[in-house]
Structure 1
């Protein structure tokens, strides 16, 4: 009888422990809700679609809407789903057209992220952990100089992945960029592509926690990129986006 009693007690203890572990896992998953800001210029021909997600923490987003309007933008339509996906159709106030300028898209992205962090401080744990705050591999830039400066420059290697594929019956190329988010990233990408004479036809800019996942449809002189051009684009973007220069005091 004693042996049976101990076995039953052990079984109950195991079940209780299992319940505790399950609840702890559920709590951990709830804590891992990652804020998402997606700017979609692909899906709608007339408006830029802005999607914002952060679990059930965002509420009505009235402050975010006001901040967007302060950028000279209009929200022509809004959709709030039961799964806490907030979707806004954004147009320029003066032209009533979708937003295409990279600088304005970057302003929109930064405004949404800043507002989210202000009203929801818990988002700061995820949002804009920039390359400067990450811990990538560092390489000292030991270029020779004729004089000694009070600072030395170090270069951080930022994890970056670039892929190029052909789409739309070979008339365009899809460029997928995955890297660490930081202010000015979109402007830097567009600058590099312009220097390579690429035309960005459409784009989707996704900010998921500290990660940036940007998709762009591009052409080169009206056509999809050939193999040599694809390699050039990958190498150039990898060079500029995969490294971050910063100064460190001695």
Structure 2
């Protein structure tokens, strides 16, 4: 599954508004690098239930400004020619046990992304390695991220979402033509998307076994700010542990893959149905008074 996320922030001042107190996000480092774990206390008897979405206090502190076109684009000619490619941003928690891997693709329009790296560092992160490769879909900028305070991969869903929104806002700043290609263009861009996607039609959920000890959850739905945090919260609210995953922002859609388990084992068929129903219930109602945006 592809995970898409692309963008870059131009100034230090605009980035500091994302998190005024990064310490609130940080936990003490564990004895080993755990991949994207979100465990809740487990009841002796599972009682499937649906809990209303609650706004994350960390996400409400995000202050992402409207993107404005810069005078120049990082390492690129500002002239736009041909069809605007679909922006893709991928946050990968599976491929590297020690770091969060981020991949950004926007045809051949992306430059060196130096301001994106600077914006991520302002979130208390280190970009430890990176590479660029080309294929038929364009130029792929791929780099690994760790928390500066621990040297470990990012585990907190709120901080992963902050990474995603930072990259997207940077993309909108340096490539304003991407605004109409992204669902986030309605929230942060200079132009809203040209089309509106029906959430009922766009939402697809699938759960399947991935061995005896875990299951694989696929979710595809219309993108929006705070979506990654909401997905993890909905899953953990029914006492299912999220171990690792991938979160792709691809144009107007978000496509995610999570490794999940219940009490150290793969999720049973009845619980798979409960999980799918819970996710579908909330994802088809993204505009409630408790929504993340």
TM-score by length of 1: 0.75
Matched, 1:108 2:160: no
Q: CA RMSD in A?
A: 2.1
* Equivalences for residues 7-156 of structure 1 within 5 A: 30-83=82-135, 84-129=139-184, 135=196
Matched, 1:242 2:242: no
Structure 1 unpaired stretches of 5+: 1-28, 138-155
Structure 2 unpaired stretches of 5+: 1-80, 188-192
Using the alignment, how far apart are the partners of 2:285 and 2:186 within structure 1? 9
Contact 1:130 1:181 in 2 (8 A): no
> Per residue, is there more strand in 1 or in 2?
1
Contact 1:50 1:88 in 2 (8 A): yes
Distance 1:158 1:92, change over 3 A: farther
* Equivalences for residues 150-165 of structure 1 within 5 A: 157=200, 159-165=202-208
Task: Provide the residue aligned with 2:35 in structure 1.
Answer: none
Using the alignment, how far apart are the partners of 2:276 and 2:231 within structure 1? 12
Query: How many residues of Structure 1 are paired with residues of Structure 2 in the alignment?
Result: 200
Using the alignment, how far apart are the partners of 1:218 and 1:163 within structure 2? 12
TM-score by length of 2: 0.64
* Equivalences for residues 147-226 of structure 1 within 5 A: 157=200, 159-167=202-210, 169-226=211-268
Higher Cα Rg: structure 1 or 2? Answer: 1
